[in-house]
Amino acid sequence: MTLGQMLEETVGRHPQRVAIQFNKQKITFRQLNDAVNRASQALLKLEVQEGDKVGILLENKPEYIISYFATLKVGGVVVPLNTFLSGAELAYIMNNCQLKVLVTSEKFLKTIQPVLPQVLSLKYTILVGVDTGEFLSFSKWVEAEPTTPPGTQVDPESLAVLLYTSGTTGHPKGVMLSHTNLYSNVLSSTQAFKVTQRDRFLLFLPLFHAFTFTVCVLAPVYAGGRIILLESARSLEEIKKSVLWDRITVFVGVPAVFNILADRKIPRFVKYIHAIRAFISGSAPLSAATIQKIEEKFGAPLLEGYGLSEASPVVSVNPLEGVRKVGSVGLPIPGVQVKIVDSQGNDLPIGGEGEIAVKGPNVMLGYYRSPEATRDVLREGWLLTGDIGKLDEEGYLYILDRKKDMLLVRGINVYPREIEEVLYAHPKVAECAVIGVKDEHRGEVPKAFIVLKEGASATEGEIKQYCTERLAKYKIPRYVEFRKSLPKTPTGKILKRKLNEL
């Protein structure tokens, strides 16, 4: 099944249910599908054909979701563009994928206008919101179009979305995901999170992120649930207000948000009047201390999962019902297999520490125009994730660290995440990150970067003493640096490569 067909099936079941709530606007599934069909017809008039790339550079707006499904219905390929990138970075991506159409807003014109002449493949730029006269106006572009489906026959195995990675080494790579990749992940995620038509998802994370779109858009669209869409970069107060006023049932966030919520004073009565049945965390590891604080404060489970763009993106999640193991990222979702392999690709036994490999219908087609990079990570249907982990006897997955982040101290493997877990349990630590620095005698030693909680003070000696009581000697941070903040991606993942550059 294609994602366009998925939307139409939901319209058939729930035409009058609200699909998107944005500010005071409520859009039913029928209205959403009509808007998608109008945009599809408009794309056909721009001669967008199978395989043509349509970029979306927008803040969180209904037009983002409309453009996404419209592109897929005509057989085009959606290219979600990171709204925090520079003009040069965006130009690289647009040229690499040979972008034909760009949907954006006035907010990003200052960034992209200087580089648009460099993108020779770009034929049309469509502007959401204000009509400058220089570009196609989104509202005028679609208003006269019919609501009939485009009628394009789309292969479920064809390329649907091209997701560009953050580019931790060199230029970003385009992750190729088919309709089948994404649809299978939606089915499995919906089953794992037990999503129903009664659910209300709070969506404040950037829509360009794979985790956000699959869990917060595609899953509720499949189930007939409601998306409460907040514009990007909303304040915590507005998020809290939406939780109560809009009767949110599923709160999807990232560690940066949950760390703040865990330490903020929340009136005790909130625990008894909110409607949240589950918190879901993705994008980066979450400390056990934060999970405990959130669950005690709100009385609802916080489910930590594991995923990556190359897997559409969800791989595993702690079960909503049944055993949830602290420190684990849960069980593989239905249809997905996970194993642990050594550096030669051999399977490791239960409890063995090695690279996590993933197999299933959610695994990407490959990297766009990068056959060598694709061969490096896809082996006989298995995706080598670059993450180090282990499986227990019951099949629960534990993430130890990124393969590239692992330290070698006196020839012994040290996982920064283990040290970070200890630091996060310190009552004065708000955020932390551990990296390896070169050492003449030990090869590498751990260095901790720490952000203290508001009003707190601590010394390097105090932190080291705390670690001494909880860690082996070689794991204790050799250096401790206090900072006001840590560099992060838009989705809250700490950028360790930036710390390495300091």
**Please, what are the averages of pLDDT over each run of 10 residues along the chain (502 residues)?**
98 99 97 99 98 98 99 99 90 97 97 96 95 91 97 98 76 95 98 98 94 97 98 80 95 88 83 92 83 93 94 96 89 98 95 97 98 95 95 95 83 86 94 91 92 96 94 93 90 82 72
Q: Which of 177, 204, 238 is the last residue of a domain?
A: 177
**Residue 246 CB partners (closer than 8 Å, separation 6+):** 21, 200, 202, 228
Whether 270 is covered by a domain: the verdict is: no
Residue 116 located in a structural domain: yes
106, part of any domain: yes
The H or E element spanning position 221 is helix 219-223
Question: Of the residues 112, 147, 177, which one is the last residue of a structural domain?
Answer: 177
Q: What CATH number does the domain containing 132 carry?
A: 3.40.50.12780
Does a structural domain hold residue 254?
no
In a domain, 230, yes or no: no
Query: What CATH number should be reported for the domain holding residue 469?
Result: 3.30.300.30
Specify the pTM: 0.88
Domain endpoint, select from 124, 152, 177: 177
The torsion angle over the Cα atoms of residues 282, 187, 217 and 93, rounded to 10 degrees, is 70
pLDDT at 133: 83
pLDDT of residue 233: 60
In a domain, 451, yes or no: yes
- CA distance between the termini of the chain: 48
Q: What is the pLDDT of residue 170?
A: 63
Task: State residue 502's pLDDT score.
Answer: 67
Say how far apart CA 38 and CA 171 lie, in whole Å: 36
A 10 A CB-CB count for 120 gives 9
| Residue 312 belongs to some domain of the structure | no
| Cα–Cα distance measured from residue 284 to residue 493, given in angstroms and rounded to the nearest whole number | 6
79, two tokens? 């290219």
- Are 274 and 298 in contact, with CB atoms under 8 Å apart? yes
208 CB-contact burial (10 Å; exposed 0-12 / middle 13-18 / buried 19+) = buried
Domain annotation covers residue 118: yes
Q: Which domain does 494 fall in, by range?
A: 407-498
Domain count for the chain: 2
Q: Cα separation of 295 and 242, whole Å?
A: 19
